Amino acid sequence: MSLYGVLRTGVSGMNAQGNKLATTADNIANTNTPGYKRASTEFSTLVIGNSKVGNYMPSGVSTQTRYAISESGQIMPTSNGYDLAIGGSGFFIVQNAAGTPYLTRAGSFRPQPDGSLLNAGGYQLMGYDLANGPPTPVANSLAGLVPVNIYAAGMTATPTTEGALGAANLNSNAAIVDPATADTAGENTAASQYTNKTSLSVYDNLGNEVLLDVYFTKTAANTWEVSVYDRATATAGGFPYGAAGSAALYEGAITFSGTDGQFTGILPVPVSLTVPNGQVMTMDFTEMTQLASADFVPDPDVNGNKPQSVEAIEISNDGVVFAVFEDGTRLATYQLAMADVPSPDNLTPVAGNAYAISLESGDPSIGFPNSAGFGVIKSGALEQSNVDMAAELTAMIEAQRGYTANSKVFQTGSDLLDVLVNLKR
């Protein structure tokens, strides 16, 4: 029997129990840390090739630290819309000040003076910029992700490029305007007549509001002339616009079915016009009808906005970040992405409650919230730590008792060495 081996075994046992006590201490300290994943110490034996006969050589115990990263914590509501929680699988993609990407479940994000969103660990939230349209994520790469900036959409003007009148109805029983006795709207004279009129508010390149007057004139059965003018050029609020006889911004003929009153077509196409000091704007009349009702109730819908600051942001369950402007309009600015790995428990924890991708965890897969394999994002909520206080206190008592028992082994080995040394006087 090796007394020195007994001493080393006792030391390894105390070290092992000390490691267990250390992970327990970390878990208890982070009980209230959002998104924290508990650590545990797993024991395994050390064996020094003992034979079945002869002296036994004591070996000891080794430990390995494991993390319950794949185990979700309870989701609790908060009063802050910037707090984010993930219901289901996946991680937020964040980066540190140096631009190195990491994964995290800690969603306690707060806006910074520059518009970025940082969580309590100092990591910046990442997403896809929607300025150039819907993103296409790279399935196994973080390429294309940019820091989310909630003020990026503020104080910028978006010119109008699309407009529609919705399900507006033109009266099928309206009288036909006779060009022989009265000018039609398209001729743009002081005597021009029309059947219905509405207006659209659109925006030019600088964000100035431009009012467009839209006229509908019944010129034949099931046929209507449509013409669009810039109100800024109107005379006394109406015809003529600019110089008499000048062309409209758009002029065409819209037709309807005489059977069911549904839209059948419009010429010329494309139905587009150029907004003064603005962009080419397409017009949609396909939802209009011609029925026996005098109620002409347009439901206009146009894009674009004037320059205004961002008042707040809203984040949907599928991770779309909307900027809410002063007038209450919303603009989709970013699409949050989520990442997952084949073995989440083998991610490498780093300071700030974040995780680095490792060889053991596997390569990340990238997708969108609320899509296949990924959970939903819950705004105004935080995922709590998955620490069970009762279990940790029990583990602490076990580690304490185990440490004491191993110290007794060490003390006994030391006493036996004293006896051995004292054999020679």
pLDDT of residue 325: 83
**Pick from 294, 301, 333, 341: nearest CA to 101:** 341
* pLDDT tens sequence across 75-92: 999 999 999 999 999 999
Q: Are 13 and 105 in the same domain?
A: no
d(CA 141, CA 357): 12
d(CA 306, CA 187): 32
Q: Are 173 and 274 in the same domain?
A: yes
pLDDT-derived band at 400, boundaries 50, 70, 90: very high
Q: Are 110 and 217 in the same domain?
A: no
Domain boundary, last residue among 272, 302, 332: 302
* pLDDT tens sequence across 343-399: 999 999 999 999 999 999 999 999 999 888 899 999 999 999 999 999 999 999 999
Q: Are 182 and 285 in the same domain?
A: yes
Angle (CA) 380-307-234 rounded to 5° is: 135
Whether 245 has a pLDDT exceeding 80, the answer reads no
List CB contacts of 305: < 8 A, sequence separation 6 or more.
Answer: 157, 158, 203, 207, 325, 327, 329, 331
Residue 64 belongs to what domain range? 3-68+386-421
Mean pLDDT in the chain?
Answer: 90
pLDDT of residue 54: 65
pLDDT of residue 425: 64
Whether 224 has a pLDDT exceeding 70, the answer reads yes
pLDDT of residue 397: 95
Domain boundary, last residue among 243, 271, 302: 302
Whether 182 has a pLDDT exceeding 80, the answer reads no
Domains in the chain, number: 3
pLDDT of residue 232: 93
Q: Are 293 and 171 in the same domain?
A: yes
Q: Are 181 and 270 in the same domain?
A: yes
pLDDT-derived band at 45, boundaries 50, 70, 90: confident
Contacts 24+ apart (CB under 8 A), 58-61: 58/2, 58/5, 58/6, 58/8, 58/9, 59/5, 59/9, 60/8, 60/9, 60/11, 60/12, 60/13, 61/9, 61/12, 61/13, 61/16
Average pLDDT, integer, range 164-184: 86
**Residues making up the chain, counted from first to last:** 425
Q: Are 249 and 350 in the same domain?
A: no
* pLDDT tens sequence across 294-334: 999 999 999 988 888 888 889 999 999 998 887 787 889 99
Helix (H), strand (E) at residue 64: strand 60-67
Domain boundary, last residue among 284, 302, 320: 302
Q: Are 379 and 390 in the same domain?
A: no
Q: In the chain, pLDDT over 70 holds for what percent of residues?
A: 96
Q: Are 57 and 80 in the same domain?
A: no
d(CA 150, CA 334): 9
Whether 132 has a pLDDT exceeding 60, the answer reads yes
pLDDT of residue 1: 53
Q: Are 82 and 189 in the same domain?
A: no
Whether 51 has a pLDDT exceeding 70, the answer reads no
* pLDDT tens sequence across 96-111: 999 999 999 999 999 9
Specify the amino acid at residue 203. Y
| Stated pTM of the model | 0.69
Q: In the chain, pLDDT over 90 holds for what percent of residues?
A: 68
* pLDDT tens sequence across 139-167: 777 888 999 998 887 777 889 999 999 99
Whether 52 has a pLDDT exceeding 70, the answer reads no
What are residue 42's DSSP bridge partners? 64
CATH code of 170's domain: 2.60.98.20
Q: Is 128 exposed, middle or buried (0-12, 13-18, 19+ CB in 10 A)?
A: buried
Q: Are 330 and 366 in the same domain?
A: yes
189 three-state secondary structure = coil
Whether 50 has a pLDDT exceeding 70, the answer reads no
Lowest mean pLDDT among 47-56, 116-125, 147-156, 207-216: 47-56
**Pick from 114, 81, 29: nearest CA to 385:** 29
Average pLDDT, integer, range 236-241: 87
End-to-end CA distance of the chain: 23
Helix (H), strand (E) at residue 383: strand 381-383
pLDDT-derived band at 420, boundaries 50, 70, 90: confident
pLDDT of residue 85: 96
Average pLDDT, integer, range 50-78: 84
Q: Are 241 and 128 in the same domain?
A: no
Our CA dihedral for 163, 169, 173, 176, rounded to 10 degrees, sits at: -10
